[in-house]
Structure 1
């Protein structure tokens, strides 16, 4: 029977290391285990590296023969290592001492093989892809979930209006609407002046000064007014929404609300969305009026078109359908800006760097979404608001 005896020139410290060696006896390959197969014996890094190397050179096979008698000590750690190496199957031929067999029998009895996982279904693959797929898929999943939660909260508001946070709603309505009137009016006025002066330079060359009312009216009421107001609100109120909710994340107020059972969607998201959905059409109308005022003054100065003629020609040049279309898409702009601000605010991590990054992403995403939705409205309603 094979034996494994350390050579005389082997270091004394190495002789106790657990290891296996290949020996041939009577035309058969034997794997002989020597050393101390204990947690202490495998605790040093050189001992573990030597054992791993020797085990890698002795892969299990159906006709393998193992001799464990030279093992000095064997505990449950060593027995578990051998059992795992044997892939939870006893070797075809095994020689060992009675005390080693008792330890191995106990390990084999209480070690349960991990069952094979069932094959993934199509639903499992879609769910895994949505959770771990590209960033766009994750964002779309979370944003759709936020919209669904908003719909549920609005239903709750309709069923039980007395439970609604009306004080928060009125505060957000004042903050998003009334406090933004001065900046939107100033920017709208300047845009109207600049646009009127640029248009007047071209119309004068063709003697079509009277058409400045048509161009200014359609461009400002239908497109520039709502988009300009939405961009200003996205940079002003959208960033404020993200910063407010993000600070609540940093100061752990969101966690405290969850502990107290206060839903985030009903108390944080819904009041802001409703407030901005109502304020945005009014701000858009206010901005368009300021831009038309600036354009009217510039047309009077550059083209000698009196304000009386401008005001009388404006209703004929711009059908009322343009105003309703502008207010409708402004409401959509407001809902999008509020949802995007709340989404990035909820995603802020409890550190100041994430707060700044989330606020920047909120503004950029809101402006991009506003432009995309405006282009969609332009395509869908291209036949509305124009005189034949």
Structure 2
């Protein structure tokens, strides 16, 4: 049976100490030898390994470290011990330096990684949209599989519970548009055109755009967090196990609710913004409410309303798809939920702004300007 590693100290007549190690100097039999060797006083001039029965790499490192710290020589080592001690002693001379890249190379490396990640995300997003289209066709063929109660629940979360914050935001935006417009137009004696600015800007652009940004930050992030948490807790895998298609059960109800709620929220936001602007005109420009309403009707064409109502459901679909897509990408640990939720909001707002620019050019080209 292997004996645990141990040592004794012998004083030499000419001065100094010999450290005689014995037993099995292996990791399984070292016990507290490491601490005892660290606690040795200075003065060891020799380390005798004659009584060592077996030694491994860990034992060789302990012998080498002790000899290095004490300035001692090693005697009595057999060929195997000498080979191991020589191998571990070589590590003292090896220094590992972190790779150093020039700033230019580092910039291009990070740029390449960002482009590659964006390309992968785009391909995955297109594939996810394909899965959603397939799920929609399946639900059209089997309407009873659509979870109407889930759609109604998301009507409440996306639409009804957002009325307060969207109304307050739109009201303040209407006041800001009226105030800034009046200040700038007053230089030319054209304060009356403030009504044109309020009506056209809110109905055509800011009403729907600011609503989309608010919904992306509020509902898009919630979609990503909810589905991401379900991925972490393996509820999505459990759905697949019992034969439920996760896209049909989790994604489609959220997309339907957001697409249907966005036009209503956009119209609501535009009307509240117009009310805010009208209140400012009444209090600052001495414009009666009846005159303001009449001017709004005269200067705001119906095409502005059509433009806003066309953009709203598209923005809603993009927001819902981005949130659900990032939620489905969660894997590993809870940290991923936060990362993908942030990515969902950023992706949704970016796509909304890009599409808004596209719509602006498109409607101008077809004469809806």
Give the aligned partner of residue 279 of structure 1. Answer: 261
Q: Distance in 1 between matches of 2:353 and 2:221?
A: 17
Is residue 2:289 matched to residue 1:307?
Answer: yes
Give the aligned partner of residue 207 of structure 1. Answer: 189
Q: Deviations over 1:128-149 (max 9, x none)?
A: xxxxx92222212211111111
Is residue 2:150 matched to residue 1:168?
Answer: yes
Give the aligned partner of residue 238 of structure 1. Answer: 220
Find 1:330's aligned residue among 288, 312, 328. Answer: 312
Does structure 2 retain, via aligned residues, the 8 Å contact 1:153–1:265?
A: yes
Matches within 5 A, 1:93-242: 134-242=116-224
Q: Distance in 2 between matches of 1:186 and 1:137?
A: 38
Q: Distance in 2 between matches of 1:181 and 1:144?
A: 32
Give the aligned partner of residue 375 of structure 1. Answer: 357
Q: CA deviation at 1:350?
A: 3.6
Find 2:326's aligned residue among 344, 347, 351. Answer: 344
**Structure 1 gap ranges (5+):** 1-45, 48-132
TM-score by length of 1: 0.64
Does structure 2 retain, via aligned residues, the 8 Å contact 1:176–1:276?
A: yes
**Structure 2 gap ranges (5+):** 1-82, 85-114
3-state SS of 2:284 partner: helix
3-state SS of 1:381 partner: helix
Aligned length: 260
Does structure 2 retain, via aligned residues, the 8 Å contact 1:165–1:271?
A: yes
Q: Deviations over 1:7-45 (max 9, x none)?
A: xxxxxxxxxxxxxxxxxxxxxxxxxxxxxxxxxxxxxxx
Give the aligned partner of residue 33 of structure 1. Answer: none
Q: CA deviation at 1:335?
A: 0.3
Q: Deviations over 1:339-386 (max 9, x none)?
A: 000111011124121111111111111111111110110111115444
Q: Deviations over 1:172-207 (max 9, x none)?
A: 111101110111000000110111111111222212
3-state SS of 1:140 partner: helix
Deviating 4+ runs (over 3 angstroms):
383-386
TM-score by length of 2: 0.67
Q: CA deviation at 1:165?
A: 0.8
Give the aligned partner of residue 7 of structure 2. Answer: none
